[in-house]
Chain A
Amino acid sequence: MRFKIIILVLLALSLTFVGANSALAVDATANVTLSATVTSIAELTLSTATVSFPNANPGTVPNVSATENGATITAHVRTGSSTPASLSVLAADDLTSGSDVIPMTAVSSTTTNTSGTFFTTGAIPWSKTAPVTLGGGASGSYTGTVNWTLANSWSYATGNYTAAATYTLTAP
């Protein structure tokens, strides 16, 4: 009787295992590794390539606004999270008209952020000796509005003055 019970128990266990196996779902898995490479890139767009200051009476117009004020500046940049991008401007020289000179420090620009926060606000005087920082930040797409101003003076000799300046957007 004891053996019969053992046999029945073993058979029951075997059938239970089979039944349990039939009821369980089986899975097959496969791992896939996704990789992406992202490198530095920068794109800078200014809606105007020329900035003109009209003649004005220094007694009534101490600061002359550029004709192109309200220009749009767009900076697209991708950089490292610990190496922010930067925007700067450097004049090649002072404003010159023949031998006459208006110091480049008389020119300043003011940029306002219209999309994102990247451009430094407030009037920033330009320089011909070292790049002047106009903004900076993390990866992103930024848009702003630029106004230029020329500090007027009775001391300026008459003439048509010109100078070149270069905007540089850097993504380290």
Chain B
Amino acid sequence: MFDDTLKIVIRKFAGKMISLLPLVFAVITLTISALSLPVNGGSGTVTTNADADIPSSAQLTISPSSINFRNANPGAVLTIPANENPVSVTANAQIGEQSLATLTVLAIGDLISGSDGIPIENVTWTATGSGFVPGTMNKNSPVSAGSWQGPGEHIGTFSFFMGNSWSYSTGNYSQTVTYTLTAP
């Protein structure tokens, strides 16, 4: 008798729980949707409720992405400006009002042509635009290129320069540097 009563209670409870499953799945689906908000690149519109939990996001654009330094006589040109100067930079950071978005740059290595190298520290840049800062390339640790408090779109320019020297061996040198915009 007691067992029969217990079985009935369990069936009723199980029925209620099963009816809640759609709600559970809905919660999970919403959570996954929130996690998949775009972080890098692309364009699009994300519409959310005013009280939605929006995660941080960041978007960085540097154009053009190929910077070239021409050949020049070191006796006449001590510093070679890049052909593409000024280079456009756009940093979008969706962060909290008190959070600090940072932009850093790290070179993979020196400028390389076969076995010859030009120290990457010979490449410097100047900056325009609020929050963007000038600096010197480094292959060992990231160098600050800008920072901003709170969310926003930040537009500026970088102008790149390479110190010229008689000591360089002839060749076609290249190297990749990586800019990283961090939205905490």
A residues sitting closer than 8 Å to B (CB atoms) are 1, 3-4, 7, 10-11, 14, 17-18, 21-22, 24-41, 43, 76-81, 138-141, 171
Contact = CB atoms under 8 A, between A and B. Distances in A.
B31 A28 contact: no
B123 A139 contact: no
B141 interface: no
A27 B68 CA distance: 26
Contacts of A34: 67, 69, 111, 123, 137, 160, 174-177
A1 B56 CA distance: 38
A78 B74 contact: yes
Contact of B180 (A1, A3, A29): A29
A86 to B, nearest CB: 15
Interface string B55-71: 11111111001111111
Contacts of B17: 3-4, 7
A10 B183 contact: no
Interface string B94-125: 00000000000000000101111010000100
A80 B169 contact: yes
Interface string B166-184: 1111111111111111111
The 9 A-B pairs with the shortest beta carbon distances in the complex, nearest first, are A3-B17, A28-B58, A36-B69, A28-B60, A81-B169, A25-B184, A141-B166, A36-B173, A28-B181
B111 A30 contact: no
Contacts of A40: 170
B78 interface: no
B68 A35 contact: yes
Given A1-B13, A7-B20, A78-B169, 6 more contacts: A10-B27, A28-B40, A28-B181, A29-B179, A38-B171, A78-B74
A4 B176 CA distance: 54
B115 to A, nearest CB: 7
B13 A3 contact: yes
B183 A26 contact: yes
Contacts of B75: 43, 76
B66 A26 contact: no
Contact of B31 (A17, A35, A138): A17
A129 to B, nearest CB: 31
A22 B94 CA distance: 12
Contact of B111 (A36, A39, A138): A36
A25 B20 CA distance: 34
